[in-house]
Structure 1
């Protein structure tokens, strides 16, 4: 199979996106940002991530994923707690609405953090815009970049969070494809107070110092991934996704005294594709 044809078949977000979605629901603030090429896909991923943003105790989760191109050529992507619809092209400019289920913080293993305020699981909504480029030369590759704006409309937190992502995919072998991505997230002061703040009541209950963070740059992200074509329709994938908290989020006593600013997610997945 030619390398360009390989790009068109397996450069999709499928399997890695499934594992990345684990992070989206817990410690990650960034949505899945991976290139899309497969016409249709269903899959399942399993991975390990931290229990909450800034924590160090881990959990294991299983998430589904769907990629579907409508008869009109529009693209629906759903990976774990995150979904987006593309009104643009499968390459070139892309844009549309997005929705995400942001998991809360309750019943955590850490005996100190368990004493501070609990956070309800909530739904975020917003939109995204991006651009995807496919190079079909002697060394084919695929590039994607975009910005995602999400808000909870004050249900659990106010304001918004804004994420910028870039990613690239290149073939390493006839059946192996490698991906890499970088990102950064800005959040409102209400977001940081909800997920990283320590109120006076929290301080009295937990022994942590009170902390009232502001907004700003919350984290940098990066990931590495491999996809392997098993046969005509089946694909396997593996990924490692890292986040480094920064700014007021990283300075929270939840992070400095009870957790870590470096968050790691890893996972594997299996997917079935068809045209």
Structure 2
């Protein structure tokens, strides 16, 4: 499915819903101090959204992505969002760390007649780990803050080098059943990554008419998002989100982006989640 080519965007909808489930806890009104560190429900959800066919493109697609959050009996946290999963060996709040896996799907059979002549990119499995910190405010108006750094690589199967992402998020209640969240992020990549996903080889240039382009590494993108969540029953939540990406550095200068697409990428969607103990 084309939709899964950009898992970092639409699967983010599930992260937003999960964050809201954490904030709402049992759904009780927050008229008295609330300790969110003891209010982490298990969670399963589905998001539906629209995004571009590939990073830097203009053509849009629609798709569905699942996700879940599960706290084990030993107090560890497993999170799975579409093509990304991580396991936290640290605390539910405070310092967090563990392994991370991502399925990065390839680029092939795209609708753009010119980009379709550029080399195909195969699907690959990325592995690595993350470290982060989550703060849970205890008080009459609870909120949660989270920061995380993730490093993954595919050990040269499709691209060489690695990808490093920094993401931050914050959730606040507007009402006992209404929550809003937002976040900022950035991603740095190796030259091998950019050459695979944004480069134009001499053979590509001959077939597509685009100029030869050999990008280096560095800042790849900056991101920002806003989301809202409504709890409509004890265990059920609905949400909506808007996610913005701006390609940067050599990725933004690629002819694939400059001549055939846009460096500004917008994703939006809605989702539903069930929280359980």
The TM-score with structure 2 as length reference comes to 0.88
Number of equivalenced pairs: 254
Q: Does the aligned pair in 2 maintain the 1:130–1:147 contact within 8 Å?
A: yes
Distance 1:74 1:27 in 2: 24
The answer for the alignment partner of 2:47 in structure 1 is 45
Unaligned runs of 5+ in 1: 1-21
* Structure 2 counterpart SS, 1:111: coil
How far apart are residue 27 of structure 1 and its match? 7.1
The answer for the alignment partner of 1:124 in structure 2 is 126
Q: Does the aligned pair in 2 maintain the 1:27–1:53 contact within 8 Å?
A: no
Task: Map 1:243-254; keep pairs closer than 5 Å.
Answer: 243-254=245-256
* Structure 2 counterpart SS, 1:190: helix
How far apart are residue 141 of structure 1 and its match? 1.3
* Structure 2 counterpart SS, 1:238: strand
The TM-score with structure 1 as length reference comes to 0.88
The answer for the alignment partner of 1:184 in structure 2 is 186
How far apart are residue 29 of structure 1 and its match? 8.4
Residue of structure 2 aligned with 1:81, choices 76, 80, 83? 83
How far apart are residue 192 of structure 1 and its match? 0.2
* Structure 2 counterpart SS, 1:71: coil
Do structure 1's residue 97 and structure 2's residue 99 form an aligned pair? Answer: yes
Instruction: Return closer, same or farther for 1:202/1:257 CA change in 2, 3 Å cut-off.
Output: same
Instruction: Return closer, same or farther for 1:241/1:184 CA change in 2, 3 Å cut-off.
Output: same
How far apart are residue 23 of structure 1 and its match? 8.0
How far apart are residue 139 of structure 1 and its match? 3.1
The CA deviation string for residues 24-83 of structure 1, in whole angstroms up to 9 with x for no partner, is 842748995764734211111111111111111111111111111111011100011111
Comparing 34-43 with 196-205, greater Cα deviation is found at 34-43
* Structure 2 counterpart SS, 1:172: strand
Q: Does the aligned pair in 1 maintain the 2:11–2:81 contact within 8 Å?
A: no
The answer for the alignment partner of 1:7 in structure 2 is none
